[in-house]
Amino acid sequence: MDTIGYHYVAEASGCDPRILEDPNELKRIMLEAAKIGLMDVRQAYFYRFTPRGVSGILVVSQSHISVHTWPEKGYAAVDVYVCGTKSKPEEALEYILRSLNASYAHITEIERGIEDEDRTFTHTILSWDEQPRKMENKSKD
């Protein structure tokens, strides 16, 4: 079995505070992201803190998707980690950032599980900044 995995770590700024404090909406967003990213969801858990903030995780067959929010700051810490190459973690992350209405994201991609000649493992890191496209408003009938 291949050990290669891709871990995306995103610092999302300028997010909609109403979304960041709603565990049900965050769960909906994350489940849709998993679907878009071709990931099989095994378990979901979201917890709303008092007075504000949510932490949530989806355990997927390939690894996990998580979010931790600070609505008062418009900030969300998002992780998407998958093992193998059959999933589309970049597409899942893009959907999450757009759904949070993030105005800015600093993203780090970590390619993990790279086996060296001496049978030890390492990783590589690449970082960049993005201004995600906003989600189009959908009218509710």
20, 63 contact by CB (below 8 A): no
> Catalytic annotation on 15?
no
What residues have CB less than 8 Å from 110, skipping those under 6 apart?
6, 7, 8, 9, 123, 124, 125
64 is catalytic: no
Pull the structure tokens for residue 110.
């970590």
Instruction: Indicate which residue of 7, 15, 63, 99 is catalytic.
Output: 63
As a 3-state breakdown, the chain gives helix, strand, coil percent values, each rounded to 5, of 25, 45, 35
Torsion of CA 139, 14, 76, 84, to 10 degrees: 80
d(CA 24, CA 130): 26
Asked if 103 is an active-site residue, the reply is no
Active-site residue among 15, 83, 87, 99? Answer: 83
Active-site position among 13, 64, 68, 103: 68
Tell which residue, 91, 89, 58, 68, has the closest CA to residue 15.
68
- Which residues are marked as active site? 63, 68, 83
